[in-house]
């Protein structure tokens, strides 16, 4: 098993983590589960350069360790976001990222704030008995759909990298495990408007006053739009024209 607490050479991100810094109580700090043999399957050099990252340094075994969660880049603040909402016809007061970790935020070459998230990086306190993993097929599908939509000029989440974990995941059959590194303008959802601001006391939450997703966005002092709002509004639009400021989550396609 490969593990290093921090990266050393050129794979630097320059994180500026407003969510972790300003929204305490709407997340749980968490680390990815270590995997046996991270192997880079696909690396998006164009996106890396757009983000101001060193593509050569990341297109490497060091990059594979970072994108698998075995190595935490300097300045990252890995966390699982908390939220609430309706699911299967009923309101659920506590939901959250069950297989994703927000590593942090970077400012790209165009001055835009972008989230970097690992998806399939293992269970979190919100997994609800799920394994927190992803299979290679869905990871590659999300990569392809995101890049296709981006090429069509549709605002969308994109994939920076896809890695194999060297471990199986068990669904209807045994599948190769993989982790996707997703890039988005934001991973803030509409659902925090339904979520009472918690006080974290592992592994339970205790509710206190409600803070809406609008207040969250204002407190971050950014123009980022909650992705769940965009996804739902966009998905119901038969003409597929993106609502103002919205971004399509390519994993929903």
Which residues 6+ apart lie within 8 Å of 235 measured at CB?
A: 252
Question: What's the pTM?
Answer: 0.78
Q: How far apart are CA 7 and CA 71, in angstroms?
A: 7
Domain span at residue 81 reads 18-186
Compute the average pLDDT of residues 177-192. 87
- For residue 175, list its beta bridge partners: 169
The Cα–Cα gap between 167 and 162 comes to 14
Higher pLDDT, 115 or 85: 115
Within a domain: 239: no
111: tokens are: 């001055």
Count of domains observed in the chain: 1
pLDDT tens-place string over residues 55-69? 999 999 999 999 999
Q: How far apart are CA 82 and CA 207, in angstroms?
A: 12
Distance CA 115, CA 208 (A): 27
Three-state secondary-structure class, residue 139: helix
Q: Is residue 7 part of a domain?
A: no
In the predicted structure, residue 34 carries a pLDDT above the cut 80: yes
pLDDT of residue 79 exceeding 50, the answer is yes
Q: Is the peptide bond before 215 cis (omega within 30 degrees of 0)?
A: no
| Cα–Cα distance for residue pair 154/201, rounded to 1 Å | 41
In a domain, 231, yes or no: no
Q: What is the pLDDT of residue 4?
A: 39
Identify whether 39 is part of a domain.
Answer: yes
Domain-located, residue 194: no
Mean pLDDT of 43-53: 97
Measure the CA–CA gap between 11 and 55, rounded to whole angstroms.
Answer: 8
Give the residue with greater pLDDT, 61 vs 86: 61
| Burial status of residue 227 (CB atoms within 10 A of its CB: 0-12, 13-18, 19 or more) | buried
Answer yes or no: are the C-beta atoms of 231 and 249 closer than 8 Å.
yes
Would you say residue 50 lies in a domain?
Answer: yes
Is 90 exceeded by the pLDDT of residue 99? yes
Under the banding of pLDDT at 50, 70 and 90, the label for residue 92 is confident
β-strand pairing of 79-87 with 113-119:
unpaired
Query: Which residue's structure tokens are 């060193």?
Result: 54
Q: Is residue 205 part of a domain?
A: no
Query: Is 68 contained in some domain?
Result: yes
């Amino acid at each position: 098993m490969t593990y290093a607490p921090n990266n050393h050479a050129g794979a630097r991100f320059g994180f500026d983590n407003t969510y972790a810094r300003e929204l305490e109580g709407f997340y749980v700090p968490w680390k990815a589960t270590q995997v046996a043999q991270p192997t880079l399957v696909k690396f998006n050099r164009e996106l890396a350069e757009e983000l101001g990252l060193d593509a050569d340094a990341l297109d490497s075994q060091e990059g594979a360790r970072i994108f698998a969660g075995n190595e935490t880049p300097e300045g990252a603040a890995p966390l699982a976001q908390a939220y609430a909402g309706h699911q299967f016809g009923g309101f659920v007061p506590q939901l959250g990222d069950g297989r994703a970790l927000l590593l942090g935020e970077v400012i790209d070459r165009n001055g835009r704030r972008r989230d970097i998230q690992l998806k399939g990086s293992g269970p979190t306190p919100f997994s609800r008995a799920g394994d927190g993993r992803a299979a290679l097929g869905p990871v590659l599908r999300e990569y392809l759909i995101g890049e296709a939509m981006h090429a069509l000029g549709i605002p969308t989440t994109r994939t920076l990298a896809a890695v194999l974990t060297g471990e199986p995941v068990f669904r209807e059959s045994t599948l190769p495990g993989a982790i996707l590194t997703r890039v988005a303008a934001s991973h803030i959802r509409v659902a925090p408007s339904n979520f009472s601001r918690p006080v974290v006391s592992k592994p339970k939450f205790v509710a206190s006053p409600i803070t809406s997703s609008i207040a969250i966005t204002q407190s971050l002092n950014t123009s980022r739009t909650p992705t769940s709002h965009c996804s739902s509004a966009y998905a119901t639009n038969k003409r597929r024209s993106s609502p103002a400021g919205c971004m399509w989550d390519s994993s929903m396609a």
